[in-house]
């Protein structure tokens, strides 16, 4: 997983996005079920032409499969000092 993070993930979204690295979110899966308590690990470095909206990586069993922001609901955000 470490190699994947280093090679494929960015700390900021490649397009404007309401989510940030470290946010805790609820994911709405393909069946419409809500999966709570997932953390945003990172963002795609390059937009995939076959899945252009899927830009966010999460800490779940398929961490390599990015999801679209529309599939997420913000649960909490860690305040970051400047």
Q: Residue 44 has what pLDDT?
A: 95
4-18 confidence digits (pLDDT tens):
777 789 999 999 999
Q: Residue 18 has what pLDDT?
A: 95
- Spell out, as residue ranges, where the chain has pLDDT lower than 50: none
Distances (CA, A) of 33 to 2, 12, 36, 42: 29, 27, 10, 23
Q: What are the structural domains of the chain? A: 2-76 (2.30.30)
4 by DSSP, 3-state: which? helix
Instruction: Quickly count: other Cβ atoms within 10 Å of residue 12's Cβ.
Output: 10
Shortest CA distance to 39 belongs to which of 19, 65, 55, 54?
19
Find tokens 């280093």 and name the residue: 6
């Amino acid at each position: 997983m470490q190699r994947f993070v280093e090679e494929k993930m960015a700390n900021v979204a490649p397009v404007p996005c309401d989510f940030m690295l470290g946010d805790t979110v609820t994911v709405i899966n393909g069946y419409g079920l809500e999966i709570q308590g997932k953390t945003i690990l990172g963002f795609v470095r390059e937009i995939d032409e076959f899945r252009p909206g899927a830009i966010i990586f999460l800490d779940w069993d398929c961490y390599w499969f990015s999801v679209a922001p529309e599939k997420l609901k913000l649960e909490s955000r860690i305040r970051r000092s400047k």
